[in-house]
C-alpha cells in the first residue's frame, strides 16, 4: 500500500530522515516510535506532501505523493492542533471536513454518532468553539475528524498524548477495529511504548532519521523496546 | 491593518504641520496656540472613547512570569509600564511635535512650548491609565460600553450646551501650566494617582482564574444556507464568513467598511482631480484591500490541514474572489448617496467598482501567493502588525496608485469621461479573462505551497 524508496530529508545539509526502503501493506496497523527528533513527524509530513523530500519518494497505492494529488481522496490524518479550525464548533468542523471528503451531513452524523462513548459527552452539542476546548478534547475531535469519509490510510501523530486513561483505552479499540475489521492502513506514532505495542501489529523504531528496528509485535516486543530505549540512555 | 496605522500617522503628521496655518486662516483674529488648546478637550474625549474600544491592557503577556521568582509588585509595574509604550500613546506625538516646532519657529517662547508639549504627553498618559480603570470597572456590567458612552456623551453635552464650559476651562488650565511650569505638578499628581489606582486593581486581579482567564466565547451559529447558491465553493464561503464573524482581527475589517464608506464625506467636498479614482477605489474596495491583503494568511493556522485534504485550490481561491466581489458590489450600492456631491462621483464609483472587481481582486490574490507571514486569529485587532510584511506595502501601489495614475493621465490628456471609460475597460477585460487569470494565480499558489506551509508553521 505505502512504499518508501530511498527517502531522505536534509535541512541545511543536516540529515533528519533517511529510509532506504519501507513497505507498509494494506490493512496493517503500523507503529512508529523514537525519541524527539527521530524523524517521526518528518516522515508523516513527507507522506502528506507537506514538505518536499531531498531524495527518493513515497508511493501510496502506486501514486507518488509529491507528483499527483490523487492520494488525498483516500488518505486522512491528524498531526497536531493546527489541523483544527479553532473558530468552528466540533459539529461544524466535522461537516466541513465531510464536505471536503464528499460526505453529506447525514453521513457525517452517522459516523460521528458511533463515537459517543469516545467523546464522553464533551465534544458534541457543547456550544463551544474548538479553540476553547481542552487539549485532550481537541485531540478527540481531530482524531474522529480523521475517520470521516471512509479513508483507506489514516495517519495519527501522537494520538495518545493528552488523552485521559479511559479515552486512551477506547482509542486503542478504535484503531484495532479499523485495521482488523475494515482493512484500513493505520499509521500511528507514539512515545508511549505500551500503547503502541498494544495497538500495532508492526513497530518500527527510528533514531536520528534511520530505521533501527522493524519488529512484528509479539509478547516480547514491549520488553525489547524498553531495553532498547533504556540502553540508548547510556550511549 | 498596517496600512491604516500608516494612514493615521500621516493624518496626524499632516494635522501637526498644517494646524498652525489652518487655524490662522480660519480664526485670523485669535492666537492659533490658544485656539488649539480650546480643542484639546474634544481630542481627549475622542481619544478616550477610541482607546476604550481598541486598547487593552497587555495582561496576558505576564502569564509566564507568575511562576518565576519575581515579586508580584514588579509584574504589575511591568504590565502598567508596558502599556505606556502603546501605539496610542505615540500617535499624538506625530501631531504635537510638528505643531510645537511650528510654534517655536513663529517665535513663541521656547521653554513655554516645551512645557506645553510635556503637558500634552502627560495628558495622553492620563488617558492611557484612565481608560484601563474605566475598562476594569465597566467589564463587570452587562452593557460594558454603556458607561464610557454616558461619561463621554455627558461631558460633551455639558460643554456643548454651555452648562459648564469644560473646553475653555481646560484650555485655561493648559495655558497657565505653559506659562508657569510649577502647575505641571497637578497633571503629574493626577497621573500618579491613576497609576496607583490601576496598580491596586491589577494586583488584586492577577490570578489565573480572574483577569488572566482566557474568555470563552458564546457560539454564534447560523446555517448560512444561502451560500449554497454559489455551488461547489459553498463550504469555503461558509468558512470565510465564519472566519470574518468569529475572530477579532478579521472582524475589524468588517467594521472598517463603515469607516471606508464615510471616507467620501472628507474628500468629496473638496475639488478633485485624480482623487475621483482614489475615492472610488477606497470606498468600493475597502473590504477588498483590508481582507484581501492577508489572503491566505487568514487560514495560516490550519493551512497544513487544508493542504492535506482533498481540496481544489481553485475553489478555495474562488471563494475569496466571490466574497471580495460581493463586497465591492454591496459597497457600490451603499455609496450611491454620494451622488449628492455630483453625478461624476457616482460615475467614478461605478468605474472604480468595475476596476476593483476586474483588476484589483486578481492583483491582491496574486500578491497573496507571496504571503509568508502567519496570522494568529485570536490576537487583538487594532494596530496589530502581525502578518504585515513587505508584500502588504508593495501591493498597495498597484491597488491604489495604478488606477489613480491611469485615470489621472487619461483625464489630463483627454477628459473625465475618457478616464472613466479606461478604468471600466480594464475592469471588463479582467472579468472576461477571469478563467485564465484564476488559473495563472492558482498555479502561483501551487508553486509556493511548501514555502507557505513552512512559513505558516513558524511563530513569527
**Which letter does DSSP use for residue B437 in this model?**
H
Query: Poorest-confidence range of A40-49, B3-12, B332-341, B348-357?
Result: B3-12
> Quick check: B304 and A82 CB within 8 A?
yes
- CA gap B83, B101 in Å, rounded: 27
Give whole-number Cα distances, B277 to B221, B330, B343, B400, in Å. 39, 18, 14, 8
Which grid cell sits at A181?
Answer: 475489521
Is the four-CA dihedral A35, A38, A42, A43 of positive or negative sign? negative
A129 has which bridge partners? A89
Tally: H helices and E strands in chain B: 21, 0
pLDDT of residue B144: 64
| CA count, 13 A, side-chain hemisphere, B241 | 19
Rounded to an integer, what distance in angstroms lies between the CA atom of residue A112 and that of residue A156? 18
Contact between B239 and A96 using a beta-carbon 8 Å cutoff = yes
Q: Is the ipTM of this complex over 0.90?
A: no
Cβ(A58)–Cβ(A64) under 8 Å? yes
Which of B456, B342, B308 minimizes the C-alpha distance to B389?
Answer: B456
Chain centroid to Cα A219, Å, comes to: 24
Overall average pLDDT of the B304-330 stretch: 87
For the ranges B68-72, B240-244, B403-407, the lowest mean pLDDT is seen at B68-72
Share of chain B above pLDDT 90, in %: 12
Residue B308 to residue A132, Cβ atoms within 8 A? no
Alpha-carbon dihedral angle through residues B159, B164, B166, B170, given to the nearest 10 degrees = 160
| Min distance B209 CA to chain A CA atoms (Å) | 15
Q: Is the pLDDT of residue B142 over 70?
A: no
Q: Tens place of pLDDT for every residue, chain A, 235 residues?
A: 899 999 999 988 899 999 999 999 999 999 999 988 889 999 999 999 999 999 999 999 999 998 888 898 899 999 988 899 988 999 999 999 998 888 888 999 999 998 888 888 888 888 888 988 888 999 999 999 999 989 999 999 999 988 999 999 999 999 998 888 888 999 999 988 999 999 999 999 999 899 998 999 888 888 888 888 888 655 4
Cα distance between the two ends of chain B: 17
Kindly determine whether residue A69 and residue B454, on different chains, have CB atoms separated by under 8 Å: no
The residues near B433 (Cβ < 8 Å, ≥ 6 apart) are none
Average pLDDT over residues B311-338: 88
Helices B313-334 and B361-368, interaxial angle, to 10°?
Answer: 140
DSSP state of B214: P
pLDDT of residue B215: 60
pLDDT at B1: 47
Calculate mean pLDDT across residues B91-98: 88
Nearest C-alpha in B relative to A68:
B310
Tell me how far apart the alpha carbons of residues B297 and B448 are, in angstroms, rounded to a whole number: 13
* Yes or no, beta carbons of A83 and B305 under 8 Å apart: yes
Q: Considering CB atoms only, which of A72, A82, A100 is closest to B235?
A: A100
Closest CA to B283 of B333, B234, B331: B331
Q: Which of A70, A80, A85, A104 to mutate to test the interface with B (most CBs of B within 10 A)?
A: A85
Domain ranges of chain B: 2-212, 225-456
Please provide residue B291's backbone torsions phi and psi, each rounded to the nearest 5 degrees.
-80, -45
Subunit contact A51:B310, Cβ cutoff 8 A: no
Q: Name the strand (E) or helix (H) holding B328.
A: helix B313-334
B281 is written with which cell numbers? 477605489
Chain A positions touching B309 (Cβ under 8 A) are 72, 97, 100-101
Q: Do A97 and B309 touch (CB under 8 A)?
A: yes
Strand pairing class (A55-60; A153-157) = unpaired
Contact A96 B219 (CB under 8 A): no
Q: Residue B192: what pLDDT?
A: 93
Which chain A residues contact residue B450 at CB under 8 A? 50-52
A49 to chain B: which residues are within 8 Å by CB? 307-308
Does B382 lie at the interface with A, CB-CB under 8 angstroms? no
- Residue among A84, A92, A129 minimizing CB distance to B302: A84
What pLDDT sits at residue A19? 93
Radius of gyration, alpha carbons of chain A: 18
Q: pLDDT category, B291, cuts 50, 70, 90?
A: confident
- Cβ-based neighbours of A231, under 8 Å, separated by 6 or more: none
Give me the DSSP letters along chain A: -EEEEEEEEEETTEEEEEEEEEEE-TT-EEEEE--TTSSHHHHHHHHTTSS--SEEEEEETTEETTT-SGGGGGEEEE-SGGGS-TTSBHHHHHHHHHHHTT--HHHHHHHHHTTHHHHTTSSTT---BGGGS-HHHHHHHHHHHTTTT--SEEEEESTTTT--HHHHHHHHHHHHHHHHHH--EEEEEES-HHHHHHH-SEEEEEETTEEEEEEE--TTHHHHHHHHHHHHHH-
B residues 385-414 closer than 8 Å to A (CB): none
Contacts of B246 in chain A (CB under 8 A): 87, 129
Q: Give the mean pLDDT of B317-342.
A: 89
Give the global pTM. Answer: 0.74
Residue B370 carries which DSSP code? Answer: T
Which own/partner pairs from B446-449 qualify as long-range (CB within 8 Å, at least 24 positions apart)? B446/B313, B447/B369, B448/B369, B448/B370, B449/B307
Amino acid at each position: 500500500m505505502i512504499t518508501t524508496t530511498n527517502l531522505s530529508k536534509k535541512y541545511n545539509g543536516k540529515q533528519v530522515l533517511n529510509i532506504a526502503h519501507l513497505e507498509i501493506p494494506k490493512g496493517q496497523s503500523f507503529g512508529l516510535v523514537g525519541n524527539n527528533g527521530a524523524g517521526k513527524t518528518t516522515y508523516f509530513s513527507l507522506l502528506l506532501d507537506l514538505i518536499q523530500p531531498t531524495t527518493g519518494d513515497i508511493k501510496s497505492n502506486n501514486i507518488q505523493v509529491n507528483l499527483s494529488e490523487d492520494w488525498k481522496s483516500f488518505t486522512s490524518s491528524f498531526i497536531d492542533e493546527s489541523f483544527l479550525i479553532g473558530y468552528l464548533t466540533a459539529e461544524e468542523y466535522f461537516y466541513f471536513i465531510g464536505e471536503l471528503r464528499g460526505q453529506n451531513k447525514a453521513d457525517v452524523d452517522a459516523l460521528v454518532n458511533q463515537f459517543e462513548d469516545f467523546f464522553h459527552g464533551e465534544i458534541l452539542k457543547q456550544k463551544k468553539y474548538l479553540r476553547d476546548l481542552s487539549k485532550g478534547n481537541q485531540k478527540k475531535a481531530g482524531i474522529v475528524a480523521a475517520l470521516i469519509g471512509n479513508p483507506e490510510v489514516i495517519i495519527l501523530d501522537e494520538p495518545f498524548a493528552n488523552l485521559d486513561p479511559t479515552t486512551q483505552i477506547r482509542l486503542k479499540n478504535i484503531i484495532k477495529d479499523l485495521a482488523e475489521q475494515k482493512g484500513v492502513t493505520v499509521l500511528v506514532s507514539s512515545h508511549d511504548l505500551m500503547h503502541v505495542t498494544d495497538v500495532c501489529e508492526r513497530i518500527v523504531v527510528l533514531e536520528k532519521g534511520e530505521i533501527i528496528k522493524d519488529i512484528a509485535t509479539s509478547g516480547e516486543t514491549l520488553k525489547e523496546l524498553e531495553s532498547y530505549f533504556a540502553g540508548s540512555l547510556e550511549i | 491593518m498596517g496600512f491604516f496605522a500608516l494612514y493615521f500617522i500621516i493624518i496626524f503628521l499632516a494635522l501637526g504641520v498644517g494646524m498652525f496655518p489652518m487655524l490662522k486662516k480660519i480664526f485670523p483674529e485669535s492666537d492659533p496656540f490658544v485656539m488649539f488648546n480650546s480643542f484639546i478637550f474634544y481630542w481627549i474625549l475622542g481619544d478616550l472613547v477610541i482607546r476604550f474600544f481598541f486598547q487593552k491592557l497587555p495582561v496576558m503577556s505576564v502569564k509566564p512570569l507568575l511562576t518565576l521568582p519575581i515579586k508580584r509588585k514588579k509584574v504589575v509595574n511591568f504590565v502598567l509600564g508596558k502599556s505606556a509604550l502603546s501605539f496610542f500613546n505615540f500617535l499624538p506625538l506625530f501631531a504635537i511635535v510638528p505643531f510645537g516646532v511650528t510654534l517655536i519657529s513663529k517665535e513663541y517662547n521656547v521653554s513655554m512650548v516645551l512645557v506645553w508639549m510635556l503637558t500634552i504627553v502627560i495628558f495622553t498618559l492620563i488617558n492611557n491609565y484612565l481608560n484601563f480603570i474605566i475598562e476594569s470597572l465597566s467589564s463587570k456590567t452587562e452593557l460594558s460600553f454603556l458607561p464610557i458612552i454616558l461619561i463621554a456623551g455627558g461631558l460633551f453635552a455639558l460643554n456643548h450646551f454651555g452648562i459648564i464650559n469644560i473646553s475653555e476651562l481646560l484650555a485655561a488650565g493648559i495655558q497657565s501650566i505653559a506659562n508657569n511650569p510649577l502647575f505641571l505638578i497637578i497633571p503629574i499628581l493626577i497621573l500618579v494617582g491613576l497609576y496607583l489606582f490601576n496598580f491596586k486593581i491589577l494586583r488584586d486581579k492577577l490570578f489565573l482564574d480572574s483577569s488572566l482567564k482566557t474568555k470563552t466565547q458564546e457560539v454564534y451559529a447560523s446555517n448560512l444556507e444561502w451560500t449554497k447558491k454559489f455551488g461547489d465553493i459553498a463550504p469555503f464561503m461558509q468558512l470565510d464568513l465564519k472566519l470574518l464573524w468569529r475572530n477579532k482581527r478579521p472582524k475589524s475589517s468588517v467594521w472598517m467598511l463603515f469607516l471606508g464608506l464615510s471616507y467620501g464625506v472628507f474628500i468629496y467636498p473638496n475639488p478633485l482631480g485624480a482623487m475621483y479614482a482614489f475615492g472610488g477605489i477606497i470606498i468600493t474596495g475597502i473590504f477588498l484591500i483590508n481582507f484581501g491583503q492577508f489572503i491566505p494568511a487568514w487560514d495560516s493556522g490550519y493551512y497544513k490541514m487544508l493542504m492535506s485534504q482533498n481540496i481544489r485550490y481553485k475553489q478555495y481561491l474562488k471563494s475569496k474572489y466571490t466574497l471580495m466581489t460581493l463586497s465591492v458590489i454591496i459597497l457600490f450600492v451603499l455609496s450611491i448617496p454620494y451622488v449628492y456631491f455630483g453625478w461624476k462621483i457616482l460615475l467614478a464609483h461605478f468605474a472604480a467598482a468595475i476596476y476593483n472587481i476586474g483588476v484589483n481582486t486578481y492583483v491582491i490574490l496574486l500578491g497573496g501567493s507571496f504571503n509568508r507571514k502567519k496570522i494568529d486569529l485570536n490576537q487583538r485587532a487594532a494596530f496589530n502588525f502581525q502578518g504585515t510584511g513587505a508584500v502588504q506595502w508593495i501591493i498597495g501601489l498597484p491597488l491604489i496608485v495604478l488606477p489613480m495614475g491611469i485615470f489621472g493621465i487619461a483625464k489630463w490628456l483627454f477628459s473625465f469621461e475618457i478616464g472613466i471609460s479606461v478604468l471600466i475597460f480594464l475592469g471588463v477585460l479582467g472579468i472576461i479573462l477571469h478563467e485564465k487569470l484564476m488559473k495563472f494565480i492558482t498555479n502561483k499558489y501551487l508553486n509556493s505551497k511548501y514555502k507557505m506551509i513552512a512559513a505558516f508553521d513558524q511563530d513569527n
